[in-house]
Structure 1
Amino acid sequence: MADFSQYTAPIADWVALEPTLPAFPNVGLEDLKHIVNKGREDMAAQGVADRGLAEKVHTKDFKIPARDGYVLEARSYRPANVSPSHALPVYIHLHGGGYLFGTLGSEDAICSRIVADQLEKSFPVVVFNINYRHTPEYKYPTAWNDVEDAFVWFHENISEVGGRGERSWSGYRGDNENLAACPRIRGQVLMIPCLVQLDYYAPRQDKLRSPELSSLVGCANAPILPIDRIKLFGSLLDVNKDSNTGDDRRLNPGNATAEEVKELPPTTFGIAGNDPLRDEGLFYAQLLNENGVPTDVHVFPGVPHGFRRYGDKLAASSKRWDEVMTNGISWALSSPECGSFEIKSE
């Protein structure tokens, strides 16, 4: 029986950092969205400047038509010293933010870091950042439809993005991995993934040694993403509870059956130890592994959901986060075989 509670206790770096952080804004939803998005964009701009990424990475913006006529934003990032005529594998980036937060610019730092880090590994890639629509203005399944439409457009226009069709590689990052529904891909990187909505979270709980060991219990009041905030994010999706939503795999991929996951591509997981979403990520990784999907599973002990935003203030954990993401890209393209289930925590 499983017990992942050893990953919960805060590490020293987090204990030192937490008292210095501002309180979550006590404002209305519209103001909250503006404050958080502005903060994320400012942090991204600072991250680009700190590493001189603007000189290393060339960006290009795209407009993508959605099925309802709305025009989606997307941005590509490629090594500045690689000729535009040189087609590269593509990593597709979907940001986290509880379906509420996130903009195109809020992802500039992480997307540029991936490009720069891959280049240092002598494995250049293009990153393609898709900005789907958000709540509360747009309910479920708008964001999911946006991602599907953008993936179709991407595969039809891969040369315009600078991608190499026969080796294009798509990945997902952030806590919105249940947005994934697309043409055949080479691999996935699921970082701090949200895989099951709270109303439908239960099928694998019986694998725990004891119910109180669940991350939904032990991490209920965790920093950054406590249970109350998860409930807020879920409520804004305005899902029709009278429909058969529990069986909707777009909304709840973590509840997939063994048959449904056996053809998935190699998947890297990055999971925060002090995060209510921890157990669903680990159980999903185990499900994939048990059904022949190559998995590379990493836990970051003692840090909460979204910890990477604090960068050098959590230096060791942030450095490892970047390594997990970049290594996940080259690992997936190496055609790995499925081994035994292993959780790497350092």
Structure 2
Amino acid sequence: MSDSPYAHYGTPDPEYAALYATLPPPIDYPIPVEASRQMLNGLVSMNHEMIKDKLPDASKYTTVDHSVPVANGTARILVRTITPTFKDGTKYPVLYWMHGGGFVMGTVEMSQDGLLRLGVELGITIAIVDYRLAPEHPHPIPVTDCFEGLKWVADNAGSFGGDISKGFIIAGDSAGGSLTAAVSHLVRDNPFFQGKQPSGQVLHIPCVVDPRAHPERYKLELRSLDMVENASMSGLNREFIYDIYRKHLRNSPEDPTASPLLFPSHANLPPAFFQVAGLDLLRDEGLLYERVLREAGVKTKLHVYQGVSHGFHLIFPQLAASKKFEEDFKNGLVWLLGGAKA
């Protein structure tokens, strides 16, 4: 194990370790991007089949796909909205979701089932953005697509049953957590969002800094990427994390829109709810970013899940830790919608 101050979080969860021991050996990296996409899409389809009978009845929500222009009208992206069934014209707070997948894979379906259940249970309209993926669309395209999709949602929420004055949360997991962090800063500084500011942000297992650009003052804290003991159980590959930035996004390491930790100020951001996996190679940057936001005066709430991998809640939904993750997520949304009160 690396000498991270947070290394104790990496002691494997016994239930996760037992399940991991039954799996075939991990596939050697590198894996071609297209093959990675097919593998992830297959996993999403398999998980959907496992839980489809537990999803809300179709009469309880409406799903609509919207084609949204971006890049000055030269391209279009999908924003899928899921709205609880209207009751006497009721409109709902809005959750805008940016999916994970290392910026190179992932679709709107990736977290849709879980978001659908939460939306129906809590009375929230969900908007999931299908931003364009690297390497075909390198940085900053994923960021700008998510930003422009958010502008569209802010302007059009009423047309799909949303009311951002009741709550406007931006959220994502993994790469989507990075996009959430970057977009939060861009929104804060953009006049368009005056009077339309998001009221909260959710960062699941986020990546927030290019490993080529770890600030000197934080290097002793950012050590989980160097994990050795149990690294094979972490759910990520160290080389893949480097390749996200240097090979696929092809961003400047110091660009804060790719490394939100590097924004010169984190003040005046919306309250932030964090969920971090203890055996994740990205663990330390999630923990550090929560502290940096808190020290900048941002209200935060943090949950750490001992000894489980990156994406554990999606890959192994049967784990007790995954069920706790989903319950904590629900409670985190309630906290944000309630004004992030202590």
TM range (shorter): 0.7 to 0.9
Whole-angstrom distance in 2 between the partners of 1:14 and 1:310: 11
Please give the residue correspondences for 1:23-102 in structure 2 after superposition, counting only pairs within 5 Å.
Answer: 23-25=25-27, 28-52=32-56, 54=58, 56-68=60-72, 69-80=74-85, 82-83=86-87, 85-102=89-106
Match of 1:179 in 2: 179
* Change beyond 3 A, Cα 1:215–1:227: same
Equivalence for 1:143: 142
| Separation in structure 2 between the aligned mates of residue 206 and residue 234 of structure 1, nearest angstrom | 18
Aligned partners of 1:139 and 1:236 also within 8 Å: no
CA contact 2:92–2:125 (8 Å) conserved in 1: yes
Aligned pair count reads: 321
- What CA distance in whole angstroms lies between the structure 1 residues aligned with 2:292 and 2:259? 14
Match of 2:241 among 190, 205, 230: 230
Alignment TM-score, normalising by the size of structure 2:
0.86
Gaps of 5+ in 1: 119-123, 340-346
Q: CA deviation at 1:229?
A: 2.1
Is 1:272 matched with 2:277? yes
Q: Distance in 2 between matches of 1:103 and 1:72?
A: 12
Deviation larger for 109-118 or 296-305: 109-118
Q: 1:284 to 1:90 in 2, by over 3 A?
A: same
Provide the aligned C-alpha RMSD in A: 2.4
Separation of aligned partners in 2, 1:21 and 1:47: 21
Give 1:295 deviation, angstroms: 0.7
Structure 1 position 226, deviation (Å): 2.4
With over 3 angstroms needed to count, the CA separation of the structure-2 counterparts of 1:103 and 1:23, relative to structure 1, is farther
User: What is the rounded CA distance, in whole Å, between the counterparts of 1:311 and 1:57 in structure 2?
Assistant: 26
* Alignment match of 2:287 (pick from 276, 282, 285): 282
> What is the Cα deviation at residue 289 of structure 1?
1.1
Deviation at 1:84, TM superposition (A): 7.7
Q: Say whether residues 1:114 and 2:118 are aligned partners.
A: yes
The yes-or-no answer on 1:296 pairing with 2:309 is no
1:203, 1:255 within 8 Å by CA — same for their partners in 2? no
Q: Gapped runs of 5+ residues in structure 2?
A: 188-192
- How far did 1:308 drift? 0.6
The one-letter code sitting in structure 1 at the alignment partner of 2:138 is K
Which of 193, 206, 209 aligns to 1:193? It is 206
Contact persistence 1:192–1:271 (CA under 8 A)? yes
Contact 1:111/1:129 (<8 A) preserved: no
Q: 1:252 aligns with which of 252, 259, 268?
A: 259
Contact kept, 8 Å, 1:74 with 1:131, in 2: the verdict is yes
Matched, 1:218 2:250: no
SS of corresponding position for 1:261: coil
Give the deviation of 1:151 after TM superposition: 0.9
Using the size of structure 1 for normalisation, the TM-score is 0.85
Identity over the aligned pairs, expressed in percent? Answer: 27
**Rounded Cα–Cα distance in structure 1 between residues aligned with 2:25 and 2:77:** 32
Q: Which residue of 1 aligns with 2:190?
A: none
CA distance in 2, matches of 1:84, 1:21: 50
Contact 2:56–2:117 under 8 Å retained in 1 = no
Taking the aligned partners of 2:60 and 2:27, their CA distance within structure 1 comes to 35
The answer (yes or no) to whether the contact 1:196–1:253 under 8 Å persists in 2 is yes
